[in-house]
Amino acid sequence: MHDLTQEQLAEKMGISRQTVIAIESDKYLPSLGLAFRMAKLFKVKIEEIFTVEGGEDEN
C-alpha cells in the first residue's frame, strides 16, 4: 500500500515483524489501538484494512 517492507511497518508501529506477518496471514487480530494506528499510517478507514467475520474475537 505504501511500499513498506514488513520490517519497516513493524518499526513504525512499534511491533515485531512476526506480528506483521501474523496480521497479514489472518492469524492474529490486532488490538483496537494498533488497528487505529495502522489505519492512520495508511490514511484509510479502519474497516478498509480490518474486517471481523462472524463478530467473534478470533484470538
Instruction: Tell me which residues touch another protein (CB under 8 A).
Output: 14-16, 18-19, 22, 28, 30-31, 34, 59
Tell me how crowded residue 20 is: count the other CB atoms within 10 A of its CB.
Answer: 22
Q: How far is the CB of 14 from another protein (least distance, A)?
A: 5
Q: Which is nearer to another protein, 28 or 50 (CB)?
A: 28
Q: How far is the CB of 9 from another protein (least distance, A)?
A: 13
Q: Which is nearer to another protein, 5 or 18 (CB)?
A: 18
